[in-house]
Structure 1
Amino acid sequence: HQHRIEKLVVVDSGGNCVGLITVKDIEKSQLNPHATKDVQGRLRAAAATSVGDDGFERAERLIDAGVDLLVIDTAHGHSQRVLDAVTRAKKLSNSVRILAGNVATSEGTLALIDAGADAVKVGIGPGSICTTRIVAGVGMPQLSAIMSAVETAQKSGVSVIADGGIKYSGDLAKALAAGASAAMIGSLLAGTDESPGEVYLHQGRSFKAYRGMGSVGAMARGSA
Structure 2
Amino acid sequence: VAGVGVPQITAISNVAEALKDTDIPLIADGGIRFSGDIAKAFAAGANTVMMGGMLAGTEEAPGEIILYQGRSYKSYRGMGSLGAMFKGSADRYFQDNNSGNINKLVPEGIEGMVPYKGSVLTILYQMAGGLRSAMGYCGCRTIDQMREKAEFVEITAAGWRESHVHDVKITKEAPNYRQEN
State the TM-score, normalized to the length of structure 1.
0.38
TM-score w.r.t. length of structure 2: 0.47
User: Which structure has the bigger radius of gyration?
Assistant: 1
Greater relative CO (CA pairs within 8 A, separation 6+): 2
